[in-house]
Structure 1
């Protein structure tokens, strides 16, 4: 057994790729998950230190969110300068390179099998820093998810791993990014599975958990284990708080639905030049910041002020309504900012306002104010993302109070349902449907086929041959006992791949064996040739597909090319490849059954 495990052939990269194509390659995926989590944690340390370095230069006392301490003219001009820099930096690039953050990660995961774009990843570094330091209403979890997912995906792309494992790696980067941002490893796992991957499977769950935990450990070694928000004391809810919490959840659900609708308005104003939309977001943010600088940045310092009971009524209103509008308008204007952090701040302010109202109306029955603050944060997050489980887990990890879960469940679910029903909207990050009545990851067939690489199902017993060969050559080919013959209809294999009507064909080796047997029975010497395109047998038109592809990609390609089989090719050098196997429509259907 030990000798088998240490066999050099099993330790090769080629064998590693082959094992990852299977649906149950858990040991290999877990190893990659640890690497992914550690890399994401290191990237988050670098990103947060980059923000800190910028704060040392631009902000009073080096505090990244000390906008209140800046002169009015400075804090008003900073958002305008930020959008100008973003416009100059992104304006000359192609439109696809401007897509950043969680939305971009979901798009690459859903429609590109987790293959991440380099230009977008590089842009995320400086756009994220400029947005946060420039005082736009933005969060750092969007850059964290994008940077983590991109770096993790590149591990798989560099190793040329099959796309089914690449998708898991992207999920690992997402979880580790959220975990490193909020110091909430469980919420990171649930966020990745509920918002990005949209599925719960053992193959995905275990690696994502490992990556999230590893990312949290790496960042805690550098920043410490303190949560994102410091709770002033233990929250002790009571059953009499439930009616008030439900009313608060209804109000927050309406706010969340309005936020999503407002953020989506940008899709109706694409005719407005991009630079004008950028200036609108910058000028509007600067105008509000003139009076309420608390709306700038992420706003975590404002949450701590609210939890300490030191926020005035007008500041709470500015955070609940002003920050909601500013964040939504910033997104609608085409500025790729993170929205999870701002939604937590908005929810905290809305919850505090409701808590003050409840205390004023029925002081003897209303619970302590911080209960409403924390419930408001979770309710707004769950309603905006339509990810109730992630919001509840974040609430548990931020408060370290399991007694609060019942009240969190009622608040989050009520708010999420209200947003969905009242505004007829789905989660903020649900992708626009592309040529389908249903999101690809909401189709059970495509979900199942995306978990497996073609390498796990294809028939590897293939011999490549020209169409015309000698009888003696046919006998040599059959001695290798192939199942399929891949027949090139012309000598130049590269042209065969590109010219219509010249693609290879597949023939069962048994058909050639039958023709050879009939030829032997005639007693004719084997000095002639055989045309494999003319002997009796069932031939299949073929189209190429890469060895890294998933079964979902293979299934789609079969439909697009209108063929019944694909030959799987492994690119060994530019313009050069070798055939690794053949996969038929029947093999895919049998696997799914």
Structure 2
């Protein structure tokens, strides 16, 4: 019984945060992953039901993709109405609040340690619904990923978890979103690791896999196990198909590279006002929709019809080229839409065109056209996102056909390399976000340091003191055997309970002990029997603050920015109140990395 209170105390939130700061906190991260996957699954259900509820208001039979059944005038007007609503709803907000979707998630993950902005997350709900029901060429997965990542990050932010675990939670939300949207858990995991987190580690893999599985279970309980679109039995591929597959992949790679370049023009379109650009995207979509309504919305119904062989050649051309241009122009004009869904539809149409060509020219030797449809979807997704492994795994999970892996690899890799080399692009998310500069997480040092919180490496043997103290107080400080003394330079207060007006200094406790041994012969002794810790012999380190939630990567960057050798770690306990938790030095960070 005497041990029970100590055991219970080990499970308090403070110890939980401390454990999460380490690099191997797998049990704790897996527990959070289940929470993340469950919450993301519920968010996905709510988002899809919100779209269905909106479709009941004006769409035929309440179907969110039945644009073909609408009158021509309504098809043309819907995109214009949608961009006007988006413009009015976002126009009064600050520019940063307009950033949404996967690009925003990657930006927050890379530069803000996964801390998601609340205003952007709230905007994503209604903007996602309006863009899809408004007939813009948009995808559901981009908003879903933003909502899932934001909800998962909210768990960490509410618990004030260290940023290294917050980053894993964001990855969990991304994986669970993709898994819940397509019923493809493995593809969701690979997408999160390959596109957002950009690293493969055991600490990241296991929680992200658990979140993806949990998210899929939640949505399957509600919606069933049917995939996003029905995939018929795929004819067994043959080696004779390889030349056509390679040719198709080369063309899709050129299309994907052009898509990325065109969408990236938005960074150089500041000469046109944002409202005008929104209106331009809406009008162009409406004009094309007058003749080819299939370009509106996500287009998964069109994929189902393509696989069933019920789509005319001109419609396939409209989906392959028209939807590509409309989606890229909408992105360039600043319309916050998802990109994953449209790339799959564009790839399916392009693949169908090549499949029809192959079966017409070589009817007795090549496989069914549906083979090229599925490979085209994977090739376009892999080339646009520059995420070949995620595309191949999505192909495998959607078709349940391991025989396609070899041919899928050839198609996806050929298309990805073609887009990269022919257009010199690094992928849609990196290109549209920051041009061709190196992604910060590509640096091995920063990758390693971002996995660990400062709480795991900092020196906790710290005592806070005023600059001038008497002998009795000095001996009391040494009795607690601290390694460091954190000295306030502006106040005589002995506790760091409020924000200091000036950054403190760090002094080794051994230097003060040496000064006490020297007694009044040491510099720093005053006539009234007090000692000034700012004057005694010893090495004093200039300090800057850093929060306990920060990662070693954040600490390393702050040390470089401030040109310092150490930081004091503070734990925010209340607004404008904090306590010192420890000191982390440059040597400690470098020793950890080595």
The verdict on a shared fold, with TM-score over 0.5 as the criterion, is: yes
Cα displacement string for residues 416-454 of structure 1 (whole angstroms, at most 9, x for unaligned residues): 000000000011111668799532111111111000000
Residue correspondence of structure 1 range 34-433 to structure 2 within 5 A: 34-430=34-430
C-alpha distance in 2 between matches for 1:114 and 1:94: 21
SS at match of 1:579: strand
Cα displacement string for residues 192-242 of structure 1 (whole angstroms, at most 9, x for unaligned residues): 000000000001110000000000000000000011121222331111111
Deviation at 1:77, TM superposition (A): 0.3
Q: Is the 8 A contact 2:142 2:339 kept in 1?
A: yes
C-alpha distance in 2 between matches for 1:5 and 1:335: 56
Deviation at 1:6, TM superposition (A): 7.3
Residue correspondence of structure 1 range 489-500 to structure 2 within 5 A: 489-491=489-491, 499=501
Deviation at 1:563, TM superposition (A): 1.2
Q: Is the 8 A contact 1:121 1:146 kept in 2?
A: yes
SS at match of 2:10: coil
Residue of structure 1 in register with 2:531 after alignment = 530
In the alignment, structure 1 segments of 5+ residues that lack a partner are none
Residue of structure 1 in register with 2:587 after alignment = 586
Deviation at 1:82, TM superposition (A): 0.3
Cα displacement string for residues 518-561 of structure 1 (whole angstroms, at most 9, x for unaligned residues): 21899x99971111011111110000000000001000111111
Residue of structure 1 in register with 2:23 after alignment = 23
SS at match of 2:545: strand
C-alpha distance in 1 between matches for 2:437 and 2:579: 37
296-305 or 265-274, which moves further after superposition? 265-274
C-alpha distance in 2 between matches for 1:240 and 1:419: 25
- What TM-score does the superposition give when structure 2 sets the normalisation length? 0.97
- Work out whether 1:485 is the aligned partner of 2:479: no
SS at match of 2:382: helix
Q: Is the 8 A contact 2:499 2:578 kept in 1?
A: no
After TM superposition, the runs of 4+ consecutive aligned structure 1 residues lying more than 4 A away are 1-6, 431-437, 492-499, 524-527
SS at match of 1:8: helix
Deviation at 1:271, TM superposition (A): 2.0
C-alpha distance in 1 between matches for 2:465 and 2:195: 47
Residue of structure 2 in register with 1:558 after alignment = 559
C-alpha distance in 2 between matches for 1:145 and 1:2: 48
Residue of structure 1 in register with 2:577 after alignment = 576
Cα displacement string for residues 365-406 of structure 1 (whole angstroms, at most 9, x for unaligned residues): 221100000000000000000000000000001001111111
Q: Is the 8 A contact 1:488 1:496 kept in 2?
A: no
C-alpha distance in 2 between matches for 1:216 and 1:422: 37
Q: Is the 8 A contact 2:499 2:576 kept in 1?
A: no
C-alpha distance in 2 between matches for 1:256 and 1:5: 61
Q: Is the 8 A contact 2:164 2:453 kept in 1?
A: yes
Distance 1:51 1:492, change over 3 A: farther
SS at match of 1:568: strand
SS at match of 1:430: helix
Q: Is the 8 A contact 1:497 1:503 kept in 2?
A: no
Distance 1:241 1:544, change over 3 A: same
SS at match of 1:336: coil
C-alpha distance in 1 between matches for 2:411 and 2:188: 20
C-alpha distance in 2 between matches for 1:343 and 1:17: 40
SS at match of 2:248: helix
Q: Is the 8 A contact 2:467 2:533 kept in 1?
A: yes
C-alpha distance in 2 between matches for 1:345 and 1:448: 38
Distance 1:508 1:437, change over 3 A: farther
C-alpha distance in 2 between matches for 1:485 and 1:433: 44
C-alpha distance in 1 between matches for 2:393 and 2:497: 55
Q: Is the 8 A contact 2:559 2:586 kept in 1?
A: yes
C-alpha distance in 2 between matches for 1:141 and 1:585: 41
Q: Is the 8 A contact 2:139 2:340 kept in 1?
A: yes
SS at match of 1:145: helix
C-alpha distance in 2 between matches for 1:513 and 1:434: 53
SS at match of 1:233: coil
C-alpha distance in 2 between matches for 1:238 and 1:313: 25
SS at match of 1:530: strand
C-alpha distance in 2 between matches for 1:436 and 1:262: 15
Distance 1:410 1:446, change over 3 A: same
Distance 1:517 1:457, change over 3 A: same
C-alpha distance in 1 between matches for 2:258 and 2:352: 19
In the alignment, structure 2 segments of 5+ residues that lack a partner are none
Q: Is the 8 A contact 1:478 1:513 kept in 2?
A: yes
Residue of structure 1 in register with 2:513 after alignment = 513
Deviation at 1:109, TM superposition (A): 0.2
Q: Is the 8 A contact 2:33 2:207 kept in 1?
A: yes
SS at match of 1:577: strand
C-alpha distance in 1 between matches for 2:54 and 2:436: 44
Root-mean-square deviation (Å)? 2.0
C-alpha distance in 2 between matches for 1:7 and 1:578: 25
C-alpha distance in 2 between matches for 1:38 and 1:26: 18
Distance 1:563 1:120, change over 3 A: same
C-alpha distance in 2 between matches for 1:472 and 1:526: 15
Q: Is the 8 A contact 2:41 2:214 kept in 1?
A: yes
